[in-house]
Structure 1
Amino acid sequence: MAELIDPTVRLQASVLAAVNEFREDRDYPTPWFVNDVDPPALTDTAAFAAYVKRVLSELGEAAGRADWFVPMTTLWWAEGDQMLGRLAIRHRLTPPLEKAGGHIGYDVRPSARRHGHATAMLAAALPIAHSLGIRRALLTCDETYTASQRVIETNGGQFIDRVGDKRRYWMPTS
């Protein structure tokens, strides 16, 4: 059964395969996290371990980070040795994240889509967001991305409004 886990070097082969799938997918834009993977991590085991360490360190405030950075918890949706998706819980929001991004973002690798993983991932993330002090989470999705709209609404998201090409939802975390 799939579950949210901390990023781990144990899943290196599967993560790299997922990155390639995301890059080859012509149906959806490449998720930002794919471009955030340090290029050496794609070919070098030690660099992949450093990448995992960096992702795990994003939990806290840190000097020298980009001014758009907010602390976030990154989790991988995995079953056995297969990374099926990635989820990030942003601990707080900036004005740009209030318009597009929200508290929780998730991506399911193309070969694992349409199996209920996004809905299950988001449901599993809500108690974690609550434990971080987020009582209601803001989620956003593209106006044209009906699958993500269904995921959010199935998990209790209440439509707020549209900002540009994004739909915004409030979602209780408890």
Structure 2
Amino acid sequence: MISLVLPDRSRWPSWVDAIDEFGGAVLHGFSTFGFDAQELRFPDAFDRWLNREIRQRTEGQGGFVPATVWWIVDDVDPSYVLGSIHLRHELNDVLLADGGHVGYGIRPSERGRGVATAALELCLYQAQQRGITRALLVCESDNPASRRTILSAGGVLENTSGTFERYWVALNKPRNPSSARRNIRE
């Protein structure tokens, strides 16, 4: 079953492996802003990143809004990082235009098995617990997999802005995190 865990040193090597699978592509939801993917292989850089993310949960860092990043794992092997998901606790003008409340990325070898759908549901539960009543989710227009994930979470298209589609998910009904922690497809 899928779970969200806060980043830690024990899963760090698996997280770096997940980053490597992207082959230099944009790491949505990994919260690596200000860090080069190569430098995160080194303990001191990872520790700086981790400390920033811990502070980021309560106070925006480096011009960013407060946010929480989780690593996505499966109970079958909780040391293996499937991907990452990032909840921004509030929106500024930039995020309102084309960023949204949530960013996520699933390592390419784990896509197509329901990981993003389950992780997004868990993240939206966390958003609801923080008092967010409507979550903005944004995806690129040429990303049908992300669109399907957003729609499965109840996303309603507001508009298309440039290369982005903007969806709102109402969080006014209780969300059940245990239903999201379902087994993923083999």
Q: Match of 1:23?
A: 23
Q: Match of 2:115?
A: 117
Instruction: Indicate the larger mover: 110-119 or 47-56.
Output: 47-56
Find the residue that maps to 2:23 and give its secondary structure.
Answer: helix
Do the aligned residues in 1 keep the contact of 2:19 with 2:27 (CA within 8 Å)? Answer: no
Do the aligned residues in 1 keep the contact of 2:67 with 2:87 (CA within 8 Å)? Answer: yes
- Alignment partner of 1:71 is 2:52: no
In structure 2, give the amino acid aligned to 1:155: A
Q: Match of 1:3?
A: 3
Aligned pairs (5 A) from 1:96-111 = 96-111=94-109
Instruction: Indicate the larger mover: 116-125 or 35-44.
Output: 35-44
CA separation of 1:37 and 1:9: change in aligned 2, threshold 3 A: farther
Q: Match of 1:61?
A: 59
Could you give the per-residue CA deviations for residues 64-105 of structure 1, whole angstroms, max 9, x where no partner exists? Answer: x433x1000111101311111111111111111111110111
CA separation of 1:35 and 1:61: change in aligned 2, threshold 3 A: closer
Aligned pairs (5 A) from 1:87-102 = 87-102=85-100
Which of residues 126, 129, 136 in structure 2 aligns to 1:128?
126
TM-score, normalised by the number of residues in structure 2: 0.82
Q: C-alpha displacement at 1:8, in angstroms?
A: 0.9
C-alpha RMSD over aligned residues? 1.9
- Alignment partner of 1:172 is 2:167: no
Q: Match of 2:33?
A: 36
Higher helix share: 1
Distance (whole Å) between structure 2 residues aligned to residue 171 and residue 163 of structure 1: 18
Q: Which has the higher contact order (CA 8 A, sep 6+)?
A: 2
TM-score, normalised by the number of residues in structure 1: 0.87
Do the aligned residues in 2 keep the contact of 1:138 with 1:170 (CA within 8 Å)? Answer: yes
Q: Match of 1:52?
A: 50
In structure 2, give the amino acid aligned to 1:66: G
Could you give the per-residue CA deviations for residues 87-139 of structure 1, whole angstroms, max 9, x where no partner exists? Answer: 11111111111111101111101111111101001011111001111111001
Q: C-alpha displacement at 1:158, in angstroms?
A: 0.8
For this pair of structures, how many residues does the alignment match? 167
CA separation of 1:162 and 1:43: change in aligned 2, threshold 3 A: closer
Between the two proteins, what is the percent identity of the paired residues?
A: 34
Q: Match of 2:154?
A: 156
Distance (whole Å) between structure 2 residues aligned to residue 83 and residue 115 of structure 1: 15
Structure 1: any 5+ residue segments left out of the alignment?
none
Could you give the per-residue CA deviations for residues 34-73 of structure 1, whole angstroms, max 9, x where no partner exists? Answer: 75374575332343233222212211225xx433x10001
